[in-house]
């Protein structure tokens, strides 16, 4: 009897934690709209401007990689005192 009550209590607490996690996850999810620049009459956006979040992400990754490679190409200065 004691084991059954322990098991029921464990399952009940697991169910409560599961519901709380589900509630927390659904409240923190946000819909991210696609980053689009509205096109006005006679004005076109540049060809290099990203239209979706995926393209923007790839562009940021490429810029980061280029900046990192540029920083690695610079020679380090070595102090002459040591």
Percentages (nearest 5) of helix, strand, coil residues in the chain:
60, 0, 40
Q: For 28-73, what is each residue's pLDDT tens digit? A: 766 656 555 555 555 555 566 667 888 889 999 999 999 999 888 8
pLDDT value, residue 82: 58
- Where exactly are the structural domains of the chain? 1-27
Across 65-82, average pLDDT: 83
pLDDT value, residue 26: 84
pLDDT value, residue 75: 80
Helix boundaries (H) for the chain: 2-28, 53-73
Burial of 56 (0-12, 13-18, 19+ CB in 10 A): middle
pLDDT value, residue 65: 93
């Amino acid at each position: 009897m004691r084991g059954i009550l322990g098991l029921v209590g464990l399952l009940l607490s697991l169910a409560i934690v599961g519901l709380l996690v589900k509630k927390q996850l659904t409240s923190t999810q946000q819909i991210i709209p696609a980053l689009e620049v509205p096109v006005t009459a006679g004005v076109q956006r540049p060809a290099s401007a990203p239209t979706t979040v995926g393209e923007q992400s790839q562009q940021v990754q490429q810029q980061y990689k280029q900046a990192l490679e540029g920083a690695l190409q610079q020679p380090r200065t070595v102090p002459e005192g040591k």
